[in-house]
Amino acid sequence: MRQTRSGKVSPGAGQARPGQLGQPARRPPGRRSASAIPVLIATMLWLPAAAESLPPARQREILRDALNAFDQAVAAAREDTGRSAELYGQAAAGWLALREAGLCNAALEYNLGNVYFRLGDLGRAILHYLRAQRLSPNDPHLTANLRYARQRVEPQIAPTGRARLAAQLLFWHYSSSTRQRFTALVALSAAGWAGLLAWVWWRKRWLLVVGLVGVAAALVCGSSIQMDLWQQAHRAPAVVVSQIQLRLARGQGADLALKHPLGPGVEVQILQQVGDWVEVRLLNGQTGWLPADAIERV
């Protein structure tokens, strides 16, 4: 990987060292960002409705302080690791304050993923990269950073053949955000029904074809959105944020489901929650129980 002037990591020759991974997402002076993330934090903060609990001026101040803290942390990393970690923590605190105030965009989640990676918190780094990917699934720098972080997770758990096949067949579902599919649903529905109404009036064959294709494509988008909603309700994705043993039943005295513990960054699906324990499924289909405080939902 190589680091671009915009501060993000893009695919390139060789592997990046951990210290190269991830700079904050922001628009560099005098040129456009190379990122595919459509709206960066600095732009979003000018919108008064972005985070109602914080005035826009306060939002911009928090953003500026967080970016400055990140830059200072990078500069101090080689000479004073303790001071660098403290500054990374300040940057994370600022971006988390914006998130808790209601600001939601891919650049914010991307920044949090970068700072947690540099702090050595692999679980939360992957958590925020996944949240960013949900909002901007095609950003190449985000994809590269997420892939690099995943390579450091222990143990490595490969998805089942069925899951890989589903990802290949439904590539359009996984390469677009719910918001993008909803926009497509509205546009295709409007075009489809307009075509059908025009066909009723003019009886042109091509109008019928356009109408039917538009309505059919809209139904596909609607089904994809429904799949997202069902998965969030019944198979919510989550990430392990602390090393923990997977157990066959609830309770610390239950038998182990796996010989080795799950490390931070392991991705799971939540099947159900009972009290302080959650039943999860790993990518390879293995199920078991974890304490609820050992994972965070994407």
Q: Which of 119, 72, 130 is nearest to 92 (CA)?
A: 119
pLDDT in tens, 86-101: 999 999 999 999 999 9
**In the chain, where are the structural domains located?**
2-150, 162-233, 235-297
Class of 235-297 in CATH: mainly beta
**Given this model, what pLDDT does residue 25 score?**
61
Q: How many residues are recorded in the chain?
A: 298
The reported pLDDT for the residue numbered 268 is 97
The predicted model scores a pTM of 0.78
Closest CA to 188 of 231, 232, 228, 223: 223
Phi and psi dihedrals of 83, rounded to 5? -65, -40
Task: Please give the pLDDT value at position 3.
Answer: 37
pLDDT (0 to 100) of residue 46: 40
Q: Using omega within 30 degrees of 0 as the cis cutoff, is the peptide bond preceding 55 cis? A: no
Pick the CATH number of 2-150 from 3.40.50.970, 1.25.40.10, 3.40.50.1970, 3.40.50.1110: 1.25.40.10
pLDDT at 168: 77
**Which tokens go with 136?**
């901007």
pLDDT at 54: 84
Read off the pLDDT of residues 137-193 as tens digits, 9 standing for 90 and up.
Answer: 999 999 999 999 999 999 999 888 777 777 777 887 888 988 899 999 999 999 999
Q: Write out residues in the chain with pLDDT < 70, as ranges.
A: 1-52
DSSP string, 227-291: HHHHHHHHSEEEEE-S-B--BSSSSTTSPBSSSSPBPTT-EEEEEEEETTEEEEEETTS-EEEEE
